[in-house]
């Protein structure tokens, strides 16, 4: 059928992520900036970029579970902690090299994800949230109190990361490890979203009954979402451990879990671009706050002791504002801007 | 031995008896209608077949396999597709995505191929082509990329039928596909159902309140009342049946045609 053959070509065009040449050039420029960043940026900026990269990976992981599949988790930092501590212990105590440590961290977290996922098959909404919350506190507690393994708040110092004889001890060099992982996870997540598995996850999120009637095994896909999400979280945590070189229990607290929920709300639920935007936004926000509050404190010395608390207030405010006025997050704003410029200068 | 065989199905919720001792046999290739007043147990019957309810008694055989005890997704995988009285679609997704979801079990790639290839996988194109054929078949071209929740109710019902068709089912269970439609939409829907039955040769079980439609298009009719089967036969036989006439308002059956819930 001639018509069908014609259609086959247009489907791919339908689906293409980068439809215009401008978008392609934009992406290439953006990648160039990212690739050359350590060459021209100050050390602190490189560090912030590294933190952003780790957060992007973490946010992608949470967005697979919460944004795509609709399973809300307040225990994301616990999964990151599992990955981080697995990598740290294997690196410090067993002397494993970087790549096996990173992968073990991710796998360890994924296995725990499967275990946490099973009871949540029977739980919905608030009950699920409470289960993940309990998991968060259990992991926090174990990390703090299993001193022989985790050295509690003394922390664990990791060996200098190395791969194929190359050392990644500095921020400048480890930046590339993080960048590679972040781009890889983002691309694979995008692929996931645009394939059968991703659609099934969204089906589970949007309607249990309808998902079942078309033959989607709810249990299988809920567990899958937990496993994939915590695998990615574990990887993110392991990278974080290597980045800091020393990890302690307070890196993976309940506050961190909330921060990740904030990232995907601010960025946009269930989208890859949203995860990226949200993570970067939430990492940069405290930087902006401290840049502003520094001069503020010297201008009004009486206020100085209170200014530390401002950042928490601003976090809360940002989340509330996004929930109220932009439920689709930065992703939604981005889409609208794009549409605006596509039709510019016509405003219809 | 029929294609779909229900044997003495009984189902009750607490004290309410939804179905009692219902037996049915649908032969392959039939267009089989189930009618009955409100609350007669028609939807409950479909829910038993598709695995949402588990009857306390009786068995359901489809294509030689026992269905009772299977989960809905397992039943679906055996080739049973279904639409609902109150549309069950993925409202936030487009028409195309809804229908692609209907083809969930026709994709052959697994998780790892999915994350490596994404939309470039050959399976995406193969299944997308199939979906486009069904969209053409149901004359839904102009809504292809629309978000389902924004479409009129009549179109949503059509999308749901399309999603069921996308499953390439051996049997299609339709729960009041014309409910809430205007005359023109009803006629379109009747035409599609006949086309699906005749051109694609799918066995269809149809629940419908609209008597004109049922009498027009179905080959065999079964009547439920208060959870019991009170009659079965060709449309003409059923119309002449006294028990049926009594069930419908207990009066003459003219009222049944004209008055029966053209809602
Ligand atoms: N999940 C349930 N819980 C309790 N009672 C139920 C349930 N589902 C159905 N029933 C009861 O079973 C009986 C049959 O309902 P069912 O929905 O099957 O009727 P129906 O023939 O489809 O009616 P309608 O024409 O209104 O769609 C009704 O009395 C209903 O209240
Ligand atoms: Mg009903």
pLDDT on residue A329: 84
* Inter-CA distances, A244 with A50, A88, A157, A174, B13, Å: 10, 11, 9, 10, 60
Q: What stretches of chain A show up as alpha helix (H) in DSSP?
A: 2-15, 21-40, 43-62, 76-92, 98-120, 125-145, 147-150, 171-193, 196-206, 208-213, 218-244, 254-267, 272-299, 304-307, 310-325, 329-343
Lowest mean pLDDT among A110-119, A210-219, A272-281, B176-185: B176-185
pLDDT on residue A2: 35
CA distance A11 to chain B (A): 7
pLDDT on residue A9: 45
CB–CB of A82/A109 below 8 Å? yes
pLDDT on residue A222: 94
CA distance A247 to chain B (A): 31
- Is the backbone of residue B224 left (phi > 0), alpha (psi -120 to 50) or beta? beta
Tell me the count of A-B CB pairs closer than 8 A.
Answer: 114
**B112 at A interface, C-beta within 8 A:** no
Q: Write the burial class of residue B66 (CB in 10 Å: 0-12 exposed, 13-18 middle, 19+ buried).
A: exposed
CA gap B3, A111 in Å, rounded = 44
Q: Are residues B76 and A214, on separate chains, in Cβ contact within 8 Å?
A: yes
As a whole number, mean pLDDT of residues A196-218 equals 91
- Which ligand gives the minimal distance to the CA of B38? 1
CA gap A160, A52 in Å, rounded = 21
Tokens 């105590």 label which residue?
Answer: A93
**Contact B123 CB / ligand 1 (< 6 Å):** no
pLDDT (tens digit per residue) in B201-227: 899 999 988 777 888 888 999 988 888
Do residues B91 and B128 share a domain?
A: yes
As a whole number, mean pLDDT of residues A258-262 equals 90
Residue A287 CA to ligand 1 center (angstroms) comes to: 59
Higher pLDDT, A232 or A7: A232
**B105 at A interface, C-beta within 8 A:** yes
ipTM of the modeled complex? 0.86
CA distance A89 to chain B (A): 29
Label residue A229 by pLDDT band (50, 70, 90).
very high
Q: Quick check: A7 pLDDT over 60?
A: no
Lowest mean pLDDT among A7-21, A27-41, B32-46: A7-21
A148's CB contacts (< 8 A; 6+ apart) are none
**Contact B23 CB / ligand 1 (< 6 Å):** no
Residues of B with Cβ-Cβ distance to A200 under 8 angstroms: 101, 104
pLDDT on residue A122: 81
**Contact B263 CB / ligand 1 (< 6 Å):** no
Using CA coordinates, name the residue in chain B closest to A205.
B90
CA gap A161, A97 in Å, rounded = 7
Residues of B with Cβ-Cβ distance to A213 under 8 angstroms: 50, 72-73, 76, 81-82, 84, 88
CA gap A229, A66 in Å, rounded = 9
Q: Of the residues B136, B168, B200, which one is the last residue of a structural domain?
A: B168
Lowest mean pLDDT among B33-47, B119-133, B154-168, B245-259: B245-259
CA gap A269, A260 in Å, rounded = 12
Do residues B114 and B144 share a domain?
A: yes
Do residues B118 and B197 share a domain?
A: no
Q: Quick check: A96 pLDDT over 90?
A: no
CA gap A88, A249 in Å, rounded = 12
- Is the backbone of residue B58 left (phi > 0), alpha (psi -120 to 50) or beta? left
pLDDT on residue A255: 85
Give SS3 for B21.
Answer: strand
Residues of A with Cβ-Cβ distance to B76 under 8 angstroms: 212-215
Question: Which atom, in ligand 1's list, is nearest to the CA of B209?
Answer: 25
pLDDT (tens digit per residue) in B13-48: 988 888 989 999 999 889 999 998 888 899 999 999
Residues of B with Cβ-Cβ distance to A206 under 8 angstroms: 90-93
- Which ligand gives the minimal distance to the CA of B175? 2
**B107 at A interface, C-beta within 8 A:** yes
Do residues B94 and B163 share a domain?
A: yes
CB–CB of A214/B89 below 8 Å? no
Q: Quick check: B258 pLDDT over 60?
A: no
Q: Where are the domains of chain A?
A: 21-253
Q: Quick check: A346 pLDDT over 60?
A: no
Label residue A155 by pLDDT band (50, 70, 90).
confident
Pairing relationship of beta strands B31-35 and B220-225 according to DSSP bridges: parallel
Residue B17 CA to ligand 2 center (angstroms) comes to: 15
Q: For residue A226, how far is the Cα from the chain centroid?
A: 14
Q: Quick check: B261 pLDDT over 60?
A: no
CA gap A192, A195 in Å, rounded = 5
Do residues B151 and B175 share a domain?
A: no
Q: How many domains does chain B have?
A: 2
**Contact B16 CB / ligand 1 (< 6 Å):** yes
Give SS3 for B19.
Answer: strand
Q: Are residues B76 and A213, on separate chains, in Cβ contact within 8 Å?
A: yes
Q: Of the residues B168, B197, B229, which one is the last residue of a structural domain?
A: B168
pLDDT on residue B2: 74
pLDDT on residue B262: 47
Higher pLDDT, A280 or B251: A280
Tokens 């949230």 label which residue?
Answer: A129
Interfacial residues of A (vs B; Cβ cutoff 8 Å): 4, 7-8, 11-12, 15, 188-192, 194-200, 202-203, 206-207, 209-218, 224
For chain B, percent of residues with pLDDT exceeding 70:
94
Do residues B103 and B1 share a domain?
A: no
Lowest mean pLDDT among A53-57, A184-188, B27-31: B27-31
Residues of A with Cβ-Cβ distance to B114 under 8 angstroms: 191-192, 195-198
Q: Are residues A195 and B115, on separate chains, in Cβ contact within 8 Å?
A: yes
**What pTM value is reported for the model?**
0.87
Q: Quick check: B121 pLDDT over 90?
A: no
Pocket-testing residue among B43, B173, B205, B229, ligand 1, by greatest number of atoms within 8 A of Cβ: B43
Q: Are residues B104 and A206, on separate chains, in Cβ contact within 8 Å?
A: no
Do residues B57 and B175 share a domain?
A: yes
A328's CB contacts (< 8 A; 6+ apart) are A268, A269, A335
Q: Write the burial class of residue A37 (CB in 10 Å: 0-12 exposed, 13-18 middle, 19+ buried).
A: middle
Lowest mean pLDDT among A155-164, B23-32, B85-94, B109-118: A155-164
Lowest mean pLDDT among A117-126, A231-240, B18-27, B90-99: A117-126
Do residues B48 and B104 share a domain?
A: no
**Contact B38 CB / ligand 1 (< 6 Å):** yes
Higher pLDDT, A316 or A342: A316
Higher pLDDT, B210 or B51: B51
Q: What is the mean pLDDT of chain A?
A: 85
Question: Atom 18, ligand 1: which residue's CA is nearest?
Answer: B41
- Sign of the alpha-carbon torsion through B144, B145, B151, B157: positive
CA gap B34, B164 in Å, rounded = 19
Residue of A210, A211, A229, A272 for testing the chain B interface, max B β-carbons within 10 Å: A210
Query: Can you state the angle between helices B95-102 and B122-137, rounded to 10 degrees?
Result: 110
As a whole number, mean pLDDT of residues B168-177 equals 93
Do residues B131 and B173 share a domain?
A: no
CA gap A49, A177 in Å, rounded = 12
Do residues B179 and B68 share a domain?
A: yes
Side by side, which strands form the sheet with B171-175? B80-83, B171-175, B203-207, B31-35, B220-225, B228-233
As a whole number, mean pLDDT of residues B84-94 equals 91
Pocket-testing residue among B12, B14, B44, B209, ligand 1, by greatest number of atoms within 8 A of Cβ: B44
CA distance A195 to chain B (A): 5
Length of chain B: 263
Q: Radius of gyration (Cα) for chain A, nearest Å?
A: 21
Give SS3 for B60.
Answer: strand
Do residues B163 and B105 share a domain?
A: yes
pLDDT on residue A4: 41
Q: Which residues of A136-174 are buried (b: 16+ CB within 10 A; e: fewer)?
A: beebbebbeeeeeebbeeebbebbebeeeeeebeebbeb
As a whole number, mean pLDDT of residues B158-172 equals 93
**Contact B41 CB / ligand 1 (< 6 Å):** yes
Question: Atom 6, ligand 1: which residue's CA is nearest?
Answer: B13
Q: Are residues B89 and A207, on separate chains, in Cβ contact within 8 Å?
A: yes
CA distance B85 to chain A (A): 12
Q: Quick check: B59 pLDDT over 70?
A: yes
Q: What is the mean pLDDT of chain B?
A: 87
As a whole number, mean pLDDT of residues B174-194 equals 89
pLDDT on residue A305: 67
Phi and psi at residue A57, in whole multiples of 5°? -60, -45
pLDDT (tens digit per residue) in A235-253: 999 999 999 988 988 888 8
Residue B126 CA to ligand 1 center (angstroms) comes to: 40
Q: Of the residues B168, B185, B220, which one is the last residue of a structural domain?
A: B168
As a whole number, mean pLDDT of residues A16-25 equals 72
As a whole number, mean pLDDT of residues A110-120 equals 91
Q: Quick check: B92 pLDDT over 80?
A: yes
pLDDT (tens digit per residue) in A127-140: 888 999 999 999 98
* Inter-CA distances, A55 with A30, A73, A77, A157, A264, Å: 18, 16, 11, 21, 11
As a whole number, mean pLDDT of residues B225-232 equals 87
Do residues B114 and B37 share a domain?
A: no
What is the CATH classification number for the domain harbouring B5? 3.40.50.300
Q: Which residues pair with B24 in a beta bridge?
A: B6
pLDDT on residue A10: 55
Which residues constitute the domain of residue B242? 1-79+169-263
Question: Which atom, in ligand 1's list, is nearest to the CA of B261?
Answer: 25
């Amino acid at each position: 059928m001639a018509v069908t053959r014609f259609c086959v070509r247009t489907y791919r065009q339908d689906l293409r992520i980068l439809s215009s040449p401008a978008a392609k050039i934009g992406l290439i420029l953006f990648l160039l900036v990212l690739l050359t960043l350590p060459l021209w940026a100050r050390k602190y900026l490189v560090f912030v970029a590294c933190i952003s990269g780790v957060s992007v990976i973490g946010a992608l992981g949470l967005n697979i579970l919460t944004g795509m599949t609709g399973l809300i988790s307040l225990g994301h930092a616990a999964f990151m902690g599992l990955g981080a501590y697995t990598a740290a212990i294997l690196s410090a105590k067993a002397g494993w090299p970087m790549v096996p440590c990173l992968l073990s961290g991710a796998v360890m977290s994924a296995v725990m994800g499967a275990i946490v996922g099973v009871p949540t098959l029977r739980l919905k909404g608030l009950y699920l949230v409470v289960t993940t919350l309990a998991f968060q506190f259990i992991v926090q507690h174990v990390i703090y109190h299993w001193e022989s393994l985790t050295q509690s708040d003394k922390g664990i110092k990791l060996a200098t990361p190395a791969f194929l004889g190359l050392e990644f001890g500095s921020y400048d060099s480890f930046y590339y490890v993080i960048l590679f992982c972040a781009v890889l996870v983002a691309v694979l997540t995008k692929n996931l979203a645009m394939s059968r598995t991703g659609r099934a996850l969204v089906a589970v999120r949007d309607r249990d009954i309808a998902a079942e009637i078309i033959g989607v095994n709810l249990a299988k896909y809920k567990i899958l979402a937990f496993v994939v999400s915590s695998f990615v979280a574990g990887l993110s945590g392991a990278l974080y451990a290597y980045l800091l070189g020393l990890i302690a229990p307070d890196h993976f607290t309940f506050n961190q879990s909330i921060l990740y929920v904030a990232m995907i709300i601010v960025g946009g639920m269930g989208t890859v671009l949203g995860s990226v935007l949200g993570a970067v936004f939430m990492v940069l926000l405290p930087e902006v706050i401290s840049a502003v509050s520094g001069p503020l404190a010297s201008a009004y010395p009486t206020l100085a002791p209170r200014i530390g608390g401002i950042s928490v207030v601003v976090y809360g405010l940002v989340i509330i504002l996004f929930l109220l006025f932009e439920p689709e997050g930065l992703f939604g704003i981005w889409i609208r801007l794009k549409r605006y410029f596509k039709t510019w200068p016509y405003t219809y | 031995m029929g294609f779909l065989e229900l044997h003495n199905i009984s189902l009750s919720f607490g004290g309410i008896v939804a179905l009692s001792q219902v037996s049915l046999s649908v032969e392959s290739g039939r267009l089989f209608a189930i009618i009955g007043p409100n609350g007669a147990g028609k939807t409950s019957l479909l829910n038993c077949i598709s695995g949402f309810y588990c009857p306390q008694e009786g068995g359901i055989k489809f294509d030689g396999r026992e269905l009772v005890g299977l989960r809905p997704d397992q039943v679906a995988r055996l080739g049973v597709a279904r639409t609902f009285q109150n549309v069950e679609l993925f409202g936030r997704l487009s028409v195309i995505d809804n229908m692609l979801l209907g083809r969930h079990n026709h994709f052959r790639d697994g998780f790892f191929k999915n994350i490596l290839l994404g939309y470039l996988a050959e399976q995406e194109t193969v299944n997308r082509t199939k979906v486009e054929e069904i969209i053409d078949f149901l004359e839904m071209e102009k809504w292809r990329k629309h978000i389902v929740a924004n479409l009129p109710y009549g179109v949503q019902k059509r999308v749901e039928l399309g999603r069921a068709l996308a499953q390439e089912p051996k049997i299609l269970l339709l729960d009041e596909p014309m409910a809430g439609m205007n005359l023109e939409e009803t006629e379109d829907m009747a035409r599609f159902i006949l086309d699906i039955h005749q051109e694609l040769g799918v066995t269809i079980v149809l629940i419908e309140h609209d008597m004109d439609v049922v009498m027009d298009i179905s080959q065999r009719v079964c009547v439920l009342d208060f959870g019991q089967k009170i009659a079965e036969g060709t449309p003409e036989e059923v119309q002449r049946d006294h028990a049926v006439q009594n069930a419908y308002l207990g009066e003459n059956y003219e009222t049944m045609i004209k008055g029966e819930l053209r809602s």
